[in-house]
Copies of this chain bind each other. A is one copy, B any other.
């Protein structure tokens, strides 16, 4: 679309801002802007300010580096959570994914990425030293490594494992189980996953889900 067609610079500017978002093209952007124009001034003020406020006031938890409104995030500050278990994840989205399962009641540690020499991300760019410090306080029994099963994830797992051993802390290091996803068919599973799921077989339980 050429610029000249818009009768309003304000409209054009708003469309451009929406179109900067991933997965939103100029046609969708126009549709969203026209939707906002039909809302009340107050609603649109709330809409715009929600992002400005988020960006300007957001903090990262000084314990787990999760996104937070306060110095220490709600999860770390919750006395009901098991502070002896730390789940190491790549990013904030993964915290939400694990929380969604409602199967984990410990604390988190957000690395902020994985070691990836191709992208120029080394161990010093990640929140690894603060993880070692947390573990070295002695208050942690188990560190669960919950990174993606990629080359980079495995490298990062190995690096963290070595660092924790080297620190002399007495802590169990575990990784989340790899295997056939629930609902998947064996026929379509890749060999490595199927092989690992046989090696890491678990005792049969009646309510395994």
Q: Which stretch in A24-32, A119-127, A153-161 binds the other chain?
A: A24-32
Complex contact B8–A51 (CB within 8 A):
no
- What residues of B have a CB within 8 angstroms of the CB of A14 in the complex? 50-51, 53-54
Complex contact B45–A55 (CB within 8 A):
yes
Q: Bound complex: CA of A207 vs CA of B80, how far in Å?
A: 76
Give this chain's copy count.
2
- What residues of B have a CB within 8 angstroms of the CB of A28 in the complex? 23
Q: With an 8 A cutoff between CB atoms, is A182 at the interface?
A: no
Q: Which stretch in A33-41, A82-90, A139-147, A193-201 binds the other chain?
A: A33-41
* CB nearest neighbor in B for A58: B10
Majority DSSP secondary structure for residues of A touching B: helix
A8-B73, A95-B7 known; A56+B32 contact, CB < 8 A: no
Q: How large is the interface on A (under 10, 10 to 19, 20 to 34, 35 or more residues)?
A: 35 or more
Complex contact A93–B30 (CB within 8 A):
yes
- What residues of B have a CB within 8 angstroms of the CB of A93 in the complex? 30, 34
Complex contact B69–A54 (CB within 8 A):
no
- What residues of B have a CB within 8 angstroms of the CB of A95 in the complex? 7
Q: Which stretch in A60-68, A162-170, A183-191 binds the other chain?
A: A60-68
- What residues of B have a CB within 8 angstroms of the CB of A118 in the complex? none
Distance in Å from the Cβ of A56 to the closest Cβ of chain B? 6
Distance in Å from the Cβ of A110 to the closest Cβ of chain B? 10
- What residues of B have a CB within 8 angstroms of the CB of A1 in the complex? 96, 100
Contact residues, A43-59 vs B (CB, 8 A): 44-58
A37-B55, A37-B58, A55-B45 known; A50+B17 contact, CB < 8 A: yes
The 7 closest A-B pairs by CB, nearest first: A48-B48, A44-B55, A48-B52, A5-B99, A17-B50, A7-B73, A14-B54
